[in-house]
Amino acid sequence: MNIVKIFAAILTVAGMLLLIYACFAIMNGTVENKVTILAPFTLGAIFFGGGLYLFRYLVSGGRVR
């Protein structure tokens, strides 16, 4: 179970870093290709949400509320 918690932590941190990168890219404003902003934002949201969902599942002991 500890390996799953480590995976959830890595997933959550990776999502946060991708979202921070996307925010910096949006603030730069000189991006010609919109995929360079959309891809990290989408992946960051998915990773961050997945990591939080996995943490919630692990903390609740597998019971879905």
> Where along the chain do its domains lie?
2-59
Q: What is the pTM of this model?
A: 0.78
Judge whether residue 52 has pLDDT over 60. Answer: yes
CA distance 33 to 56: 36
Q: What percent of the chain has pLDDT over 70?
A: 89
**Coil vs helix vs strand at 64:** coil
Structure token pair of residue 37: 């902003």
Residue the block writes with tokens 């941190």: 13
Q: Which segments of the chain does DSSP mark as H helices, in order? A: 2-28, 35-59
What confidence score (pLDDT) does residue 64 get?
59
Q: Based on the number of CB atoms within 10 Å of its own CB, is 44 exposed (0-12), middle (13-18) or buried (19 or more)?
A: buried
